[in-house]
Amino acid sequence: MGIEALAESLGQNILTTTLGKLVGWGRGNSVWPAQFGLACCAIEMIATATAGVDIARFGSEAFRASPRQSDLMIVSGRVSQKMAPILRTVYDQMPEPKWVISMGACASTGGVFNNYALLQGVDKIVPVDVYIPGCPPRPEDLLNALMILQERIKAQGITPRQ
Amino acid sequence: MSTPEGVTISRTGEAGAFGGELLTVNFGPHHPSTHGVLRLIVDLDGEQVRSVKPVIGYLHTGIEKQMEALRWQQGVVVTDRHDYLSPPINNLAYALAVEKLLGVDVPPRANALRVIMSELTRLSSHLVWMGTSGLELGAMSMLMYCFRERDTILDMNEEISGFRMHTSYIRPGGVMADATPRFLEMLEAFIRAMPGHVDEYEELLTMNPIWRSRTIGIGRLSAEDAKVLGATGPMLRGSGVAWDLRRAIPYSGYEDYDFEVATSDLCDCYGRYLVRIKEMRESVKILRQALDRLPDGPVNVDDRKILPPPREELETSMEAVIHHFKLFTEGYSVPPGDVYVAVESGRGENGCYVVSDGTHKPRRVKFRSASFVNLQALERMALNHMIADMIAIIGTADAVLGDVDR
């Protein structure tokens, strides 16, 4: 078979892209969050997974109990001083590439609790990719944050985190 | 983990009853079935549980201390966030305590709206319990059904207060705002639909062989044990003790409503499930009565020293402007004294102890949270059960860790 005949037989069935874009597309549409519920926001995180908002539309319905199987940590709620080392351990156990969403005012800044007990922002111990305001944020807010993160993952491609 | 010298946590290696050795395992705080960040240290003999030691404090937020730094009316916002599955009931306990110190009585319409919000909250709290417990014991679709109705309730919260979860709707002196006509329509539709939905849940679980074999005879707690351990709410009523604060020490006009106190003599996880199902039906009954008899009138006490004047008054009255300014800069002072008020939340006795020294901030606020006390019964329930049954037993305690650690 000549090269012209091959091209003709394949017709419109070929797609050309870069490896980076392909990997980014794959990663962005299969972000598996770790099951890491802390406080009030965790309930809204569960609500995001139920039929009403349905996070499965974005490929992230597989909340994994083990950090070894997850790509995304949704810090959903207030992080106490006692919980902080455990949160960091769970983060360290997640394989690269990994991302963090800081869900709600408490996780992002300490929220209404400016006191001795709470970590004033989870970004003090782990790098955060997307912050969500709200106390707690609506499930739609979490979906929006996930979509922002997906865009970023797709743009990042195959290159590792800086 | 660092422990004081001479204290050992692990019993690994001690002789067990079956010729083997005990094994001490750590359970949590990051574990999918602990309903938050509960940590348990469990001694196992083979697969049997020999002891359970809860380790708490992983969600300690300093809420009680925080309230000492906030003015009386600001404290309401923080009460929302300790038992985050029943915010209006927490508001109610605090509001009743402050009102008792102030010596004010809220108008009848405010009381009725408080009852409506409390019962809606009880329903949503039980729905979250049933959804997550179902999920843990393999009834995955329960979560979808329960959260569907929970979302309807949250939509109503949003309609009446502007916020889905932490409504801060019930405040000392009354409620945040009057019910909108749309809220009353939504409530009417909800009351009509809810009994059918409860039937739906029962169809899925009550005679379900897997659900029954995972809960019947599991986590037994006798009435004596429940009383001695201070358990309240469905934990106590599931052991056959008809103790409900709405009936025993009525508040907010609960004495005028006709409802049954749900109990079960089964004393196990299944009994507590039946109690919660019954309570949901009774809550709908209370909602029906409250909506039908909703009185007209104001929803706040007519006292400018506690609550700000209406907006239109600000444009015509200098006195109103002064009141407004004083309330939002200094706040109001509460007469010295201390008071304990308890209300019935979805989990049991939710008490609020408030000490005032006569200033515009509380001297001390203490919450008697039902989850914290109910957690004590965990070891008694789990003793000599299989490790897999721990999941059902933790679920049945319905502990909200924000409520335990505060």
B145-174 per-position pLDDT tens digit: 999 999 999 999 999 998 888 988 999 988
Range of the domain at B133: 63-302+332-405
Confidence of residue B93 (pLDDT cuts 50, 70, 90): very high
Domain membership flag for residue B369: yes
Confidence at residue A5, expressed as pLDDT on a 0 to 100 scale: 81
CA–CA separation, A90 vs A70, rounded Å?
10
* Of A8-12, A85-89, A115-119, the least confident: A8-12
Look at residue B1 in the predicted model and tell me its pLDDT. 47
Domain-embedded: residue B373: yes
Q: Residues B317-339: pLDDT tens digits?
A: 888 899 889 888 888 889 999 99
Closest residue on chain B to A76 (Cα): B36
User: A89-102: per-residue pLDDT in tens?
Assistant: 999 999 888 999 99
Total domains present in chain B: 1
Q: Which of B36, B60, B148 sits opposite A37 (nearest CB)?
A: B36
- For the ranges A34-43, A146-155, B188-197, the lowest mean pLDDT is seen at A34-43
* ipTM score above 0.90: no
Q: Is residue B397 part of a domain?
A: yes
CB contact under 8 A, B77 and A112: yes
Cβ–Cβ contact B280 with A under 8 A? no
Nearest-Cα residue of chain B relative to residue A41: B84
| Residues near B193 by beta carbon (within 8 Å), at least 6 away in sequence | none
Q: Report CB contact under 8 Å: A38, B36.
A: yes
Task: Residue A38: list chain B partners with CB under 8 A.
Answer: 36-37, 59
Give domain limits for chain A.
Answer: 33-150
Q: Give the pairing of strands B170-171 and B48-55.
A: unpaired
Least CB–CB distance from B402: residue in A40, A86, A118: A40
How much of chain B exceeds pLDDT 70, in percent? 97
User: For residue B7, is pLDDT > 60?
Assistant: no
Residue B340, pLDDT > 90, answer yes
Residue B323 lies in a domain: no
Is the separation of the CB atoms in B361 and B394 below 8 Å? no
Distance to chain A for B37, nearest Cα, Å: 6
Q: Is B277 left (phi over 0), alpha (psi -120 to 50) or beta?
A: alpha
The SS3 call for residue A77 is coil
Residue A64 touches chain B, beta carbons under 8 Å: no
Across the interface, do B37 and A83 touch by the CB < 8 Å criterion?
yes
The answer to whether the CB atoms of B59 and A80 lie below 8 A apart is yes
A97 min Cα distance to partner chain B (Å) = 21
pLDDT at residue number B21: 82
CATH number at residue B255: 1.10.645.10
What's the Cα-to-Cα distance from A44 to each of A38, A108, B192, B237, B399, rounded to whole Å? Answer: 11, 16, 26, 29, 17
Residue A104 has pLDDT above 50, yes or no: yes
pLDDT beyond 70 at A4? yes
Is A117 part of the contact surface with chain B (CB cutoff 8 Å)?
yes
Model pTM score: 0.89
Cβ–Cβ gap B37/A44 under 8 Å: no
- CATH numeric code, A33-150: 3.40.50.12280
Query: What pLDDT, on a 0 to 100 scale, did the predictor assign at position B4?
Result: 55
The answer, for A27 touching chain B at a CB cutoff of 8 Å, is no
Helices (H) and strands (E) in chain A, counts: 6, 4
